[in-house]
Amino acid sequence: MGKNLVRKFKVLEMGRDNQHKEVQAKYVKNKGEPKPKVLGPKYELTEWFKWSDGIKVWRIRALRDFDEVKAGYLGGYVESEANLSHDGDCWISQYAIVRDKALVCENAWALDYSIVRDEARICGSACVFDNVVLRGRCLIKGNVQLYKKVVVGGRVQLWGDLHFDDNRTLSAYLKTEFEKRKIKNEPEQTTEG
């Protein structure tokens, strides 16, 4: 498993003529020194919105440069500013949706058509893209990468250098981890004779 995530994606930028144009950007996440905090908001809610299961979500626009995002780039959708931290290099890109009490923070990214909802949290340098759905009270952190059609829910917690692209491998991993913990926590059986 690689230490870096290298992913090309399209970013929407607002041109001078108020028309959207797609800009190719290269997203590279490195484990490096933390960047100093920059005060002030890094994004704003725009007037563009859409509906997600009956919930109005608003497109965001970057107000300053950070990571590979430039001021003016259009991001994904949030229900409110409580869904995306203004600190760190976290971002919601393209058509990703973060809503309810869900949160993207630190240096985490939600890309493509991913949905982060309910009370799910994505932190650290984690990244979800393609059609990933995070729901319930799950916590994704560290350098976890979830992509394709993975669905994570309930109280699942994933951290470290993990990469999953389907529910089968994720389920197998979770089952193995559950069995390890079960064996570790079982009292030893002793036979007295």
pLDDT reported for residue 180: 82
pLDDT reported for residue 51: 98
What is the pTM (predicted TM-score) of this model? 0.77
In this structure, the number of other CB atoms found within 10 A of the CB of residue 89 comes to: 18
Distance, CA of 177 to CA of 185 (rounded, Å) = 12
Distance, CA of 130 to CA of 116 (rounded, Å) = 12
Residue ranges per domain, the chain? Answer: 5-30+38-185
Instruction: Give per-residue pLDDT as tens, 52-107.
Output: 999 999 999 999 999 999 999 999 999 999 999 999 999 999 999 999 999 999 99
Lowest mean pLDDT among 40-54, 88-102, 117-131, 168-182: 168-182
Residue 24 DSSP SS3: strand
For the stretch 130-146, what's the b/e string if a residue is b when 16 or more beta carbons lie within 10 angstroms of its beta carbon? eebbbbeebbbbebbbb
In the structure encoding, which two tokens stand for residue 128, read together? 């979800």
Band (185; pLDDT cuts 50, 70, 90):
low
Distance, CA of 42 to CA of 11 (rounded, Å) = 16
